[in-house]
A and B are shown apart, each in its own frame.
Chain A
Amino acid sequence: MRFVIIGNSAAGVNAAQELRNADKDAQITIVSSEKDMAYSRCLISRFLDGRLKADGLYFKTRNFYHNYNIKPLLGKTALSLDRPAKAVVMADGEKLPYDKLLLAVGAGPIRPKVPGLELPGIFNFYSLEDARRIMKYVKDKLVKEAVVVGAGFVGLEAAYALCKAGIKVTVVERCAQILPAQFDHISSEIIREDLESLGIEIILDESLTSVNGESAVESVTIGEDTDIACSLVIFASGVRPNVLLASEAKLNISKGIVVDEFLNTGDADIFAAGDCIEIEDAVTGKRQPSATWFNAVLQGKFAALNMRGEAKRYSGAIGIQNSVQFHRLAAISFGMSQIMDEDLDYEVISHYNKEQKIYKKLVLKDNLLRGMIFTGDILKAGFYAALIREKIDVGAYKHKLLEPDFSYAYFRKENFGQVGSYAVTPSCWQSPSWFAERSLCMGIK
């Protein structure tokens, strides 16, 4: 079998590894327009502020491609798909024939259309190469002030990294809160305080009007007429699935590459996984892109199984599953962390300790957990996430869902597909006088 994978990140690399584990003889090729070996995009801010070197971003070892006998074509761009001939046409004219193809082409940054975008000093913050360019520009131009457009994860990571490098950072966000897609108002305020304590200025409810300067960026204008002096602008106003390759090949496109539950695109030999796809969200039921690392890895693995013809159904896409710690505060959001529609059947259970900066919120409907936000204390967050993901009835425990002693112990018969770790408990354990008669219950005379 000849497997060709376009994309060298979470989905692509994990698919390749899974394919090799299952098939020792297959030809596996990974194509990527980026030169770097597989690195974690989520960590580029830690590279920007010097906490990690480039090799600290590699999520596989340096000899991964060799060990797994995968042919890497890095720094080479796939130009188009020749579906009748079952080949990928490369920019250099080479044709890569495939039996099964995986599109793991990711997403790309988008920018608002404002005047001044052609000026030097404007950057995206999406790739390792972007981070390198920013570092060089900061060093060459002795950047002292920077503006970050967008207060999502990418924007705030960038702001935190620049701040650590001693640069005065202002973040401009058009929504009324930071992290508008993932967190609710209370949790976003707690995270904002954590960032502002470092001196990062965050301006909410304002949009960028223009970027100004003679030969390079000198300032930005926000709203009607507020100017902020800066010599560096980073755009972090969102990403969009890369669909060009698929749409030119007449595959089904909506917001992303449309796939079924087998991650198939509709062409029996072409699959897609990761940030480039649009798939049904397991919690909201809506079709949407699913751009998180965790989704991409699992999709890569499922796509690999399906490329081998194993017909493995994938239904675990959850658009919101994020964990974050910029400075000192850890926070996790999962599933329906905010109630978006007018549905009144949702129930919210929350706990907020302002002094300790601890905020926990659970969203329920029909005795099922649908979403959660944990801020300041993220212990056992994964257990709640599993209750959401596995749609487990929590009706019997509603009164104690956020109690400190609520834990997996209550659901110990639930093995989540893994080998169990509890022996069968003798019925005497349930007896009210169990503790007194413990040795008897244990069978000890």
Chain B
Amino acid sequence: MKKLYLRIERCSGCKRCELACMDEHRDIDADKPRTRIFVESINERPVPVVCRHCKDALCVSACMAGCMQKDQNSGIVSNQGYLQKCVGCWMCIMACPYGVISPSDNGAMVDNASFAQALKCDLCPKKDTPACVSACPNEVIELRDIQE
């Protein structure tokens, strides 16, 4: 199962990972890009916070539309690409202990009878290496394949 692994002492807080993440997900975010990796801070020291693609993911249990699923092969937890569609109910945002799911605030979606979406890390399925990993100049973020 793939997971991101962080060495925070290497992080300079440049936020290139956030930018790369926004850029990678432009097609989902439409007019307002959002990042799925968050460079937070503790006493002015940068600390990135990422999705863990949990084994017993609470966001999956909380999802009332059934769109948030954990892929049994890759281990990736995502609400995109399934038959069930995200309806923007935000239960996953309430459930995620790491606070790494955010709402798209596309007002147009509310009016066009489609739904705002919960945005989260999908480990960039179109790429071999996630965009944040490639973008980091300091090798803070590493993609590891681990046994769950």
- B94 close to A438 (CB less than 8 A): no
In this complex, what residue of A is CB-closest to B102? A379
The complex places the Cα of A316 from the Cα of B56 at a distance, in Å, of: 14
Is A137 positioned at the interface, with any CB of B under 8 Å from its CB? no
Contacts of A419 on B, CB cut-off 8 Å? 3, 52, 55, 146, 148
B26 at the interface (CB under 8 A from A): no
The residues in A between 388 and 409 inclusive whose CB is less than 8 angstroms from any CB of B are 389-390, 405, 407-409
Do B64 and A43 touch across chains, with their CB atoms under 8 A apart? Answer: yes
- Residue B14 CB within 8 A of the other chain: no
Known pairs A383-B96, A429-B45, A438-B12; A378 contacts B90 (CB<8 A):
yes
* Binary flags per residue of A413-434, CB closer than 8 Å to B gives 1, else 0: 0001111011101101100001
Q: Find the A residue at minimum CB distance from B7.
A: A423
Q: Let me know if A26 is at the binding interface, CB within 8 A.
A: no
Which residues of chain B are near A435, meaning CB under 8 Å?
Answer: 12, 45
Render A41-78 as a binary contact track against B, CB cut-off 8 A, 1 for contact: 01100100111100010111100000000000000000
Residues of A within 8 A of B138 (CB): 442
Q: A58-B84, A421-B50, A423-B5 are in contact. Are A382 and B93 (CB under 8 A)?
A: yes
Contact of B4 among A56, A389, A409, A421 (CB under 8 A): A421
Of the candidates B95, B146, B148, the one whose C-beta lies within 8 Å of that of A294 is: B95
Cβ A43 vs Cβ B41 within 8 A: no
* Residues of chain B contacted by A416 (CB below 8 angstroms): 97-98
Kindly state whether residue B33 has any CB partner on chain A within 8 Å. Answer: no
Closest CB-CB distance, B11 to chain A, in whole Å?
A: 9
Complex partner residue of A332 from B42, B94, B102, CB under 8 angstroms = B94
User: A52 and B87 in contact (CB under 8 A), knowing A382-B93, A383-B99?
Assistant: yes
What residues of B have a CB within 8 angstroms of the CB of A422 in the complex? 5-8
Q: Assess whether A325 is in contact with B116, with CB atoms less than 8 Å apart.
A: yes
B3 partner residues in chain A, CB cutoff 8 A: 419, 421
Cβ–Cβ contact B97 & A382, under 8 A: yes
Report A84 CB to chain B, min CB distance, Å: 36
Q: Are A382 and B99 in contact (CB under 8 A)?
A: yes
- Residues from chain B with Cβ under 8 Å of A409 in the complex: 40-42, 47, 49
- The answer, yes or no, to whether B134 is at the interface (CB within 8 Å) is no
B53 to chain A, nearest CB (A): 9
Per the CB 8 Å criterion, the residue count for chain B at the interface is 58
Interface-centre pick from B47, B55, B58, B92 (highest chain A CB count, 10 A): B58
Determine the distance from Cα of A426 to Cα of B7 in the docked complex, in whole angstroms. Answer: 9
Q: Are B113 and A50 in contact (CB under 8 A)?
A: yes
For the complex, what is the distance from the CA of A220 to the CA of B56, rounded to whole Å? 49
B84 touches A59 (CB 8 A): yes
Q: Are B116 and A59 in contact (CB under 8 A)?
A: no
The residue among B52, B62, B85, B98 with the most chain A CB atoms within 10 A of its own CB is B98
State the CA gap A379–B41 with chains docked (Å).
16
| Distance A103 CA – B96 CA, assembled complex (angstroms) | 28
Answer yes or no: A293 CB below 8 A from chain B CBs.
yes
Q: How many residues of A contact B (CB 8 A)?
A: 63
Interface: B61 (CB within 8 A): yes
A434 touches B5 (CB 8 A): no
A330 cross-chain contacts in B, Cβ below 8 A: 90, 103
Contact between chains at A325 and B89 (CB < 8 Å) = yes
- With both chains docked as a complex, state the minimum distance between the C-beta of B51 and any C-beta of chain A, in angstroms: 9
Contacts of B7 in A (CB 8 A): 422-423, 425, 442
A297: B residues at CB distance < 8 A: 61-62
B110: nearest chain-A partner, CB-CB: A328
Complex contacts, A381 vs chain B, CB 8 Å: 90, 93-94, 99
Q: Does A334 contact B (CB under 8 A)?
A: yes
Known: A40-B65, A293-B64, A328-B110. A428 touches B9 (CB 8 A): yes
Q: Does A367 contact B (CB under 8 A)?
A: no
Given contacts A325-B88, A332-B93, A441-B9, contact A405 B99 (CB under 8 A): no
B45 to chain A, nearest CB (A): 7
Known pairs A379-B102, A421-B50, A428-B9; A43 contacts B87 (CB<8 A): yes
Q: Are the C-beta atoms of B64 and A42 separated by less than 8 Å?
A: yes
Which A residues touch B40, using CB under 8 A?
405, 407-409
Using A294-B62, A418-B54 as known contacts, say yes or no to A408 and B49 having CB atoms under 8 A apart: yes
Chain B residue numbers with a CB within 8 Å of A324 are 89-90
Contact between chains at B89 and A407 (CB < 8 Å): no
Smallest CB–CB gap between B60 and chain A, Å? 9
Q: Does A151 sit within 8 A of B, measured CB to CB?
A: no
- Within 8 Å CB of A298, what residues of B? 61
Check A176 for interface membership: any CB of B closer than 8 A.
Answer: no
Closest Cβ of chain A to B147, distance in Å, is 9
Let me know if A385 is at the binding interface, CB within 8 A: yes
Chain B CB within 8 A of A185 CB: no
What residue in chain B is nearest A412 (Cβ atoms)? B47
Point out residues on A near B: beta carbons under 8 Å: 10, 14, 40, 42-43, 46, 49-52, 56, 58-61, 293-294, 297-298, 301, 321-325, 327-328, 330, 332, 334, 378-386, 389-390, 405, 407-410, 412, 416-419, 421-423, 425-426, 428-429, 434-435, 438, 441-442
Please list 11 pairs of residues, one from A and one from B, whose beta carbons are closer than 8 Å in the complex, sorted by A's number: A40-B66, A56-B85, A297-B62, A323-B90, A325-B89, A381-B90, A385-B94, A416-B98, A418-B52, A426-B9, A441-B9
- Beyond A60-B66, A405-B41, 7 extra complex contacts between A and B, CB < 8 Å: A323-B90, A332-B94, A379-B102, A422-B8, A425-B9, A429-B9, A442-B10
